[in-house]
Amino acid sequence: MRLVVAKCSVDYAGRLTAHLPMATRLLLVKADGSVSIHADDRAYKPLNWMSPPCKLTAQDDRWEVVNTAGEKLVITIEEVLHDSSHDLGVDPGLVKDGVEAHLQKLLAEQVETLGAGWSLVRREYPTPIGPVDLLCRDATGAVVAVEIKRRGEIDGVEQLTRYLELLGRDPLLAPVQGIFAAQQIKPQARTLAEDRGIRCVVLDYDVMRGIDNPEERLF
């Protein structure tokens, strides 16, 4: 990972255009090829970014980042305040606690719960802002990102929305659909998800563990 603190301006050209005027920012270049520009606020969300696959051409006062879709970031550097590189090694991934981790494992093993003919691409599929719980393909081969929660709330829908935005920039994956899966989904979260074209799925933990059979229930 390369960390550069620099006084810079940023211009983006692609499906739209955007400009960040000259200011001091953090430029983050990851081993996966992604490049993101951060301010000293707004938590983890970058001001602008380019997800892999993309190519970085870096000169002293000008960086150009181009992806396979033809989108371009041009970073004009006036002054470099810090420049360092660090080898972080292989990350073990996010370790989730309790039922949520078990739900993810069970759903990965029983992915056809989501639909006949579905297949798992990968658990914990990485994005620049964190891993998507499951990346799958449906019976038609379309890519689907699945976010799993014990209790589905609005913040979980927002999280999945951000993942879908990033994954949709990858021409090898796009278009990417979304599924919000949880043991319980609050009405407000369901309304927001469905408004954004995200399918909601309620998971029965006991049935997935094989300790309950809905066909044998009296009511």
Q: Spell out the SS3 assignment of the chain.
A: CEEEEEEEEEEEECCCEEEEEEEEEEEEECCCCCEEEECCCCCCCCCEEECCCEEEEECCCEEEEEECCCCEEEEEEEEEEEEEECCCCCCCCCCCCHHHHHHHHHHHHCHHHCCCCCEEEEEEECCCCCCEEEEEECCCCCEEEEEEEEEECHHHHHHHHHHHHHHCCCCCCCCEEEEEEEEEECHHHHHHHHHCCCEEEECCHHHHHCCCCHHHCCC
| Residues 110 and 137 occupy one common structural domain | yes
| Residues 48 and 151 occupy one common structural domain | no
Give the count of beta carbons closer than 10 Å to the beta carbon of residue 111.
20
| Residue 219 included in any domain | no
| Residues 57 and 123 occupy one common structural domain | no
| Residue 12 included in any domain | yes
For residue 207, give every residue at least 6 positions away whose Cβ sits within 8 Å of its Cβ, in sequence order, or none.
Answer: 213, 214
| Residues 31 and 121 occupy one common structural domain | no
Q: Retrieve residue 136's tokens.
A: 């799958």
| Residue 93 included in any domain | no
| Residue 91 included in any domain | no
| Residue 92 included in any domain | no
Q: What is the pTM of this model?
A: 0.55
Q: Which domain holds residue 79?
A: 2-85
| Residue 166 included in any domain | yes
| Residues 202 and 104 occupy one common structural domain | yes
CATH of the domain at 14: 2.70.180.20
Total domains in the fold of the chain: 2
Amino acid at site 48 = N
- What residues does 178 pair with on adjacent strands? 145
| Residues 109 and 181 occupy one common structural domain | yes
| Residues 32 and 63 occupy one common structural domain | yes
For residue 105, which phi and psi values (nearest 5 degrees)?
-65, -45
| Residues 110 and 207 occupy one common structural domain | yes
| Residues 73 and 144 occupy one common structural domain | no
C-beta separation of 186 from 146 below 8 A: no
| Residue 154 included in any domain | yes
| Residues 80 and 102 occupy one common structural domain | no
Please give the chain's pLDDT, 219 residues, in tens. Answer: 999 999 999 999 987 889 999 999 999 999 888 999 999 987 778 999 998 889 999 998 999 999 988 899 999 999 999 999 999 887 766 555 557 888 899 999 999 989 999 999 999 999 988 899 999 999 999 999 999 998 999 999 999 999 999 999 999 999 999 999 999 999 999 999 999 999 999 988 888 877 655 555 444
Could you say which of 85, 113, 143 is where a domain stops? 85
Question: Tokens 């989108």 belong to which residue?
Answer: 71
